[in-house]
Every structure is written in structure tokens, then in C-alpha cells.
Structure 1
Amino acid sequence: MSTPTQKLSDAGVSIWLDDLSRERLSSGNLDELIENRNVVGVTTNPTIFAQALSQGDAYDEQMKELAQAGADVEDAVFTVTTDDVRDACDVFATIYDATQGVDGRVSIEVDPRLAHKADDTVAMAQRLHESVGRENVMIKIPATEAGLEPIAATLAAGISVNVTLIFSLERYRAVINAFMVGLERALENGHDLSKIHSVASFFVSRVDAEVDKQLESIGTDEALGLKGKAGLANARLAYQVYEEAFSTERWKRLEEAGAQPQRPLWASTGTKDPAYSDTMYVTGLVVQNTVNTMPEKTLEATADHAEITGDTVSGTYDQAEADINALEKVGVSYNDVVEKLETEGIKKFEDSWEELLDTVSSALRQ
């Protein structure tokens, strides 16, 4: 019997785990998920590392060594996280080779406090890339307006990028442009374009969480009838943008030079409302050339009972647009929602980073 995760992979969706810890690496759990759950990549963030460090004793020995060496908290965070990512890259090396670099990827994020500092973001991206020292690492850069130039500059230096925190279709178009600008510069710089990969992380469940809250506040039958539709509609329209952008003459020129398209990545795919199916952001976004990065709970739910019936995105664009337009009619502003989510997203990233610094600081003291 073909499992749901196998069917998802067969439909062209790469499954990446949204989690990493030293315990997961040393116990062989990550290898098991590759073997039994079709996991072909990993994404990380500061919250994930903070949780990993606060549970169990896997980091105690290294923390002791770093404390004895007089490492400050920023250096300790950098060392610990890049060590884990390097080891995970090695676990995925075979998949990376087998897929010519499309999968087998491990993402690590720049310090989110740099989200509005272009030069510092580029410098940290290069430092992370060099420190991990593996071809299959991807550097996560938030898609703020100030992040667009660092995204292009990092790609131009031959470094693969996971563009994170995308909510709006307009910003997504700007991200695709930054990706192509980066590849055009990389080509001028003499880099092999086939080695430079990118994903564009479109956040899904957070859109519903915010929109649903506003719909409940409006409270009419018409408004309440739109609950749970915005996240999927927004992501499906993003895929339409992807199809359009990667069929242009500009893209074809880059493709002829060896470039691979920047795949849409569905992020924030764990449902936040218990009334919704726990696999709705998986089964509703099945389409080729995409990535779905799942927390373990969503991955296990998918493996257990997701019904994968083939492409659920192509041919949905008219309905998706109607759903977004219907929100405006009942008084929910799409532009206000996506702007609020980006602002909150950066704040959440920064809070997570502070949490990580606090966790490591406490471990160093102990």
C-alpha cells in the first residue's frame, strides 16, 4: 500500500520537517522519518532551537565547553545551531545528491533582528553559509521590503536561500523578482546556476487565524461562511503567480543557463483552529514543484489519515480569487491583514530569538 506521505511525494510535493534537535539527530529519529515518512529536508527557526536546548541534556557537554572557553551568548548560539545544521546536512547528503540539490536541504535563519538591516543580513548569511560549510544548507531571510536586496545579494554570491515570512501576493512577486535579479548577478559573477536553489515560504494557517478572528467579530452569516477559506485561497493564488512568473522569457533565459525555479514552500501548515481538519493545509495544497514543511504533529496526522487524491491547486484560481474578494465585501481588508501578519511575524521571530538567547545564557551559567 502506498502511504499518504508517499502519495504526496509522488504528486510532486517535497516533505520537509519543521523541526530539528540534537536528540533527533543522535537517536536516529531523523533517519527514521526519512525512511518511513518521506521526509527530504528540514527547516529550523529560533523557537525550534530554544525548545531543543531546554529539553533533555543533549547540549550539556557542549555548553560546559563553551562556558569554560568564555564564549558569549551570541557566539554560543551561533556555534550550537550551526553544528546541528551541519550534522543534519550530512544526514541529508545522499538525498541532496540524488535530487541534484533540489531536496536534502536544511534551512537556518539569519538573526531576525537584522530584518530591516540589509548589509548586516547579507554578512550574516555569508557567515552562516561558511560556518555550516555544506552545499545543501539554505539560509533563511525574511521577505520584508528591506530583505529583498539581501535575498538578491546572497543568491548573487552563490548561496541558496529560503525566503521566509511571505503573506501577500504583491510581496511574493517582489520576492520572485529578487530571486531572478540574484541569479542574473550570479551568472555575471561566474557562478554555476544549477547549484543555487531557493524556496519561497508562503505562510498559510496564520492567514486564517487572523481573518477568522475578524470574520467572527463581524459576525454576520455571510462573514462566518467565509471562515477557513482565506489561507488556502491565498496560497493557491500564490501558485498561480509562480506559474506565470516561471513561464516568462526572462525566466527561460535563466533556465537555459542552468537555473532551477524557486519553488513555493507552504509554511505554517499546522492548523490553529481545532474545528478544522488537522491536514487541511496539506491535502488542500497538493501540486507539483512545491514543498510542504510540517511540524511533526502535522506530519504524523498526514501519515495516519490524510487523503491525497492528486492536484488540489490547479484549476482553483477563480474560486480562490472569489473567496478573497468576498472578504473585502464583508469588511475584511486583505492588504491590512497581510501587513499586520508581516509586522507580527517579525516580532514573533525577534521574540523567539530573545528566547533562544535567554535559554543559551542560562545554560552557559549552569
Structure 2
Amino acid sequence: MNERLKALADAGVSIWLDDLSRERLTSGNLAQLIAEESVTGVTTNPTIFAAALSNGEAYAEQLKSLVAANPQLGVDEAIRELTTSDVRDACELFAELNEQTDGVDGRVSIEVEPGMAMDSDATLAQAKELFEKVDRSNVLIKIPATKPGLEAIRKTIAAGISVNVTLIFSIERYREVLDAWLSGLEDALEAGLDIDEIHSVASFFVSRVDSEVDKRLDEIGSDEAKALKGQAAIANARIAYAAWLEVMTSERWGVLKNRGAHPQRPLWASTGVKDPSYDDTMYVTQLVADGCVNTMPEKTMEAVGDHGEITGDTISNNIDAAIDTMGKLAEVGIDMDDVVAKLEEEGVSKFIVSWDELVGTVGSAVEAAKA
């Protein structure tokens, strides 16, 4: 067991791998990460699946069987079959851990099609479809936290389906996500559902905030502005954690908790450091607090395991400093409302591009299998 990663887990942070592929499953790599690197969950997205399915050989046998069973197999159906198969197998791998942690960990996420991010009804319908298709209780359905996504999040939770809310960049939107989650639990309770079976995480994106803010600080060009580079993302995330703590001490949450509800845990996403001049573990070591999840690409996980300095809680006592940092950013001319609006739009767009790549890759493979 890697001691640095174990120390992170001992500090109350769940370590999830931000990647999944057929090769990870069949080679035993994912099982090894669970056994040796304290990995307790997996997240996926359209970009991850586009990369995974570009390895046609790993999926050729299943695709051939799908075409044999249905010569009219369409690309969307093929994608659904291939991706849900990987997620289902990963869920099986985590089943024992999921049971041991009362459903909290041992979770695997699969995302709705990104083109539906602005359509609440379509998102809800596909969330239900994916949940039924994977057919494992430890799956999390990922739904982007767009304005239309908020309604879909509430209704999906109200239907008793566990959700990973993704693409959160702003504190204001995060508060809206927390409200949608609470409302969904209240709706589920009113409908007579067993809410202790419903789990959720909220994926708050980190590194992309610094990428955008640092670019703007360089454009401003003053010494005061440049001195703030590399600080926005961690400060933003720490303030989000403070918002979560407010909800965790609220009367509204207390009522649901007494009925068996589980917290919607904050999950730090986009934790790979993009600027090579920064510490490559900063979005992990500087965001440690009990009750959080950190989903990392394997490269980041390896860096933390090799040289990450885990010093306990690095959020709770630094919230005032985070607020001060955001104030200084505003003073030098950073408009965070504009930053997060741009990042949300870009986030959806990037996943749509990845989805289109996925459609192209699988489409070619389907045609080859039919030939």
C-alpha cells in the first residue's frame, strides 16, 4: 500500500481514478490500483471513453457479437453497449468495497450525452436509461451542472438514482446544485422512496480555473496581478467547501440526515496540473479535508504517491485566506463571473467534441464489423 496515498485516505479523502478502459479491466490494472493505491472509485466522461474506444482491438470481439445479434446496429446503441459494459464490469470490481462502506465508496460514474446539457427532459430520460442499462446499484449518473441540468439533477435524485453532478466552476452554481440535491431528496422522501439508498457527489473543477485566470492575469500584466497566478483555483474550491459546510450544519439537512440521507460529497475534479512551473500535486495536497473526494488522472496519482506532502486538513483553516485571495483577484480586474461562465460553456463544448470523436471511431468500427 502506498503510504502517501494511504495518508490521504486516512485524512478523510476518497481517492478516485479519473479514467476507465477495457484494457484497465482485463489487464488487472484497476484491481491493482484498488489493492495498492487506495483507489475507491472511478469517474469517466466522453473524453475518457473517446480515448478508450480508440483502441479498437479491445472492443472488437464485443462489437462483432453485437452486430451478429443485430445487423442493423446503430452507432448510438453501440456506444451505449460498449461504455455501459465497461462501467458495469468496474461496478462489479468495486461491489465489495461499496458494500463495506455502506454505499459511500466503490462508485463508478457514467455521463449523459453532453449534447443534452441544455435539455432537462432529455437529460433525465437518458439518466434513467443509463441507470437501468448498467443495472448496478453503485453506478453514479453524471449530469452537467448547467442551468437546465439543475432540474434534471433534482428529478433524477427524486427518482432514487444516485448522481455525480459535473462541470461545476462557480460558488453560486454550486449552491444551486446543493439546493437541487436537497430538493431531490425531499421529493424522493415525499414519494416514499428509501433515501438512504441515494448517493451523490458534486464535481467542482479546479485546474481549468487557474488556466483561465492565469491567462487573464498575464494580460493585465501588473506585478500585483502576476503575483496572484496559481491561486484562484484552490481559493475557489476552498470557498466551495465552506458552502458545503454551511449546508451540512443546516436544519434542512438535519431533517434529511435523520431520515437516513447521505451527504452529497464535494469532489475535486480536473486535478491534473497544467502549468509545469507549479507543484504537480497542488490540487490534491492543498485540497485535503474530511468528507471530500479527489478524482485524479493516473499521472497525478503517481505524483502524489511519489512525492505528495500530505499534512492533514489544508482547507478548513484557510477559508478566510481564500476569500481574501478572491478579493485581491477582483481588485486587479478579474471578473470571476465571466471566468466561470466561459469555463462552463467551454466544458460542455469540449465534451461534445469528444463525443463526436467517439461517434466517428465507433461508427467506423461498426461498419467494419458489418463488412
How big is each residue's C-alpha offset from its partner over 1:247-284, in whole Å with a ceiling of 9 and x where there is no partner? Answer: 11000000000001100000000001000111000000
CA distance in 1, matches of 2:46, 2:338: 27
Superposition pairs of residues 206-355 of structure 1, within 5 angstroms:
206-355=208-357
Unpaired runs of at least 5, structure 1: none
Q: Does 1:42 align with 2:42?
A: yes
Unaligned residue ranges in structure 2 (runs of 5+): none
**Are residue 79 (structure 1) and residue 81 (structure 2) matched?**
yes
**Matched-pair contact (CA < 8 Å) for 1:67–1:365:** no
**In structure 2, distance between residues paired with 1:220 and 1:56:** 50
Q: Show the counterpart of 1:143.
A: 145
Runs of 4+ off more than 3 Å: none
Comparing 72-81 and 188-197, the one that deviates more? 188-197
Contact 2:56 2:365 in 1 (8 A): no
Q: Where does residue 118 of structure 2 map in the other structure? A: 116
- 1:166-194 CA-to-partner distances (Å, cap 9, x unmatched) read 00000000000000000001101111111
* Residues 2 and 305, structure 2, Cα contact 8 Å, conserved in 1: no
Q: Tell me the distance in 2 between the aligned counterparts of 1:140 and 1:97.
A: 21
Q: Does 2:363 correspond to 1:365?
A: no
Three-state SS of the structure 1 residue aligned to 2:57 is coil
Q: Are 1:140 and 1:161, in contact at CA under 8 Å, matched by a contact in 2?
A: yes
Pairwise CA distance, 1:73: 0.4
Contact 1:77 1:360 (8 Å CA) reproduced: yes
Tell me how far apart the structure 2 counterparts of residues 327 and 235 of structure 1 sit (CA, whole Å). Answer: 15
Which whole-Å CA distance do the structure 1 matches of 2:2 and 2:213 have between them? Answer: 36
Q: How many residues are paired up?
A: 366
Cα gap change, 1:222/1:205 in structure 2, threshold over 3 Å: closer, same or farther? same
Q: Could you tell me which amino acid in structure 2 is paired with residue 197 of structure 1?
A: H
| 2:61 counterpart letter in structure 1 | E
How far apart in 2 are the matches of 1:51 and 1:351? 12
Q: What letter corresponds to residue 256 of structure 2 in structure 1?
A: L
8 A contact 1:18–1:42 mirrored in 2: yes
- Partners of 2:253 and 2:81 in 1: CA distance: 38
Question: Partners in 1 of 2:261 and 2:114 — Cα distance?
Answer: 28
What RMSD in Å do the two structures reach over aligned CA positions? 1.0
Q: Aligned AA for 1:347?
A: S
* TM-superposition CA deviations, 1:316-345 (whole Å, max 9, x none): 111101111111111110111011101111
**Aligned-partner SS, 1:344:** helix
Asked whether 1:7 is paired with 2:2, we answer: no
State the secondary structure of the residue aligned to 1:316. helix
Quick check: 2:231–2:325 contact (8 Å CA) kept in 1? yes
In 2, Cα distance between equivalents of 1:149 and 1:53: 31
Q: 1:30 to 1:188 in 2, by over 3 A?
A: same
* Residue identity in the other structure for 1:55: N
What is the percent sequence identity of the aligned residues? 61
Structure 1 contact 66–364 (Cα < 8 Å) conserved: no
Cα contact 1:96–1:104 (8 A) shared by 2: yes
Judge which range, 184-193 or 9-18, deviates more: 184-193
Q: Secondary structure at 1:41's aligned position in 2?
A: strand
Distance 2:161 2:27 in 1: 30
The Cα offsets for residues 40-60 of structure 1, whole Å up to 9 and x where unpaired, read as: 000001111111111261101
2:180 counterpart letter in structure 1: A
Matching of residues 25-36 of structure 1 within 5 Å: 25-36=25-36
Distance in 2 (CA, whole Å) between partners of 1:359 and 1:304 is: 36
The CA deviation at 1:198 is: 0.4
2: CA distance between counterparts of 1:299 and 1:191? Answer: 37
**Deviation, structure 1 residue 2:** 6.6
Task: Give, in whole Å, the separation in 1 of the partners of 2:104 and 2:340.
Answer: 29
Shift of 1:219: 1.0
